[in-house]
Amino acid sequence: MGVVARPAHEEGSTKSVSESGFRVKFWGTRGSLPVSGADYARFGGNTIAVEISCDDETLLFDAGSGLPLAGRALAADRTKTTHLFMSHFHYDHIIGLPFFCPLFNPRATVSLWSGNLHGQQTTQQTLKEIMRPPFFPVSPDICAARVRCMDFRATDVLEPIAGARLTTGMLNHPGGSIGYRVEWNGRVVALITDTEHEPGKLDDTVLSLIRGADLFIYDGAFEDHEMEKFKGFGHSTWQQAVRLAREAGVKQTAIFHHSPTRIDSELEAMEARAQKELSSLFFARDLQAVTL
């Protein structure tokens, strides 16, 4: 398994996957809100959107400001179903959804999956809330694609495409957030964002989702010394990622949901400290690809 950084001018080259056919691409790695400017050029400023390619099938996770980039990189005449899985519906995770171009392709099918609001509100109801005045000028009725809203509950196992198995779990975040374990072709990616750990403890749900993963993607918005100040915000640290990765025997760990207050030099310094603790850990960057 290797990590490959892609420069911005290669953002459309989404189909160059590894021999195994399994690849992860980070279209957005920032948390809370998008940022821009020279101080954010190396890590990027888009909020979370992650693509997992399983041969020619596409699974997308979260609809942050990086999602429109992923949408433009998909073939314009794509007829295969695009699956979009939501961790939850806070602003930084949905801001890109109304600008996801496959929604406006009459030949396309988009399946939107969510589970953090199970029993409170359906995926379809939530989509209608996101796209309505006065927050957005038009309703989902403008979408020309076939949009399938798929509800599930935490702990459900999903099989959206042949050969893929997604195990889900509820994370510790205000309003809930869904963590995903994606198994395909003998490899595993675990995507855990927007979760707050209890100091001194390892979350059993997180451990079960990441056990033996080839790539463990984790929310590292804060550092351990900041957790008391930000208690209740629903985020974690790179130090907790190290502890979890060691306990769960994961092969490689990626930190994302970077704080919008962290400039490139600060993230690079944090990454260097983290790699002294765990050499297989890296801080994810926008447009970075990982082959499995």
pLDDT tens, residue by residue, 54-65 = 988 999 999 999
Instruction: Give the neighbor-by-neighbor strand order of the sheet with 2-5.
Output: 2-5, 288-291, 22-28, 49-54, 57-61, 81-85, 109-114, 146-151
14 close to 25: Cβ distance less than 8 angstroms: yes
Interacting residues of 44 by C-beta distance below 8 A, sequence separation 6+: 28, 29, 30, 66, 285, 286, 287
Does residue 137 carry a pLDDT above 50? yes
CATH superfamily for 2-284 is Ribonuclease Z/Hydroxyacylglutathione hydrolase-like (3.60.15.10)
Distance CA 29, CA 66 (A): 8
190 close to 179: Cβ distance less than 8 angstroms: yes
Which residue in 250, 164, 159, 270 sits closest to 202, CA to CA?
Answer: 250
Mean pLDDT (whole number) for 122-145 = 93
The secondary structure element, H or E, covering residue 208 is helix 204-210
**227-241 per-position pLDDT tens digit:** 889 998 889 999 999
66 close to 8: Cβ distance less than 8 angstroms: no
- The ranges assigned to domains in the chain are 2-284
163: helix, strand or coil: coil
Q: What is residue 233's predicted lDDT score, i.e. its pLDDT?
A: 87
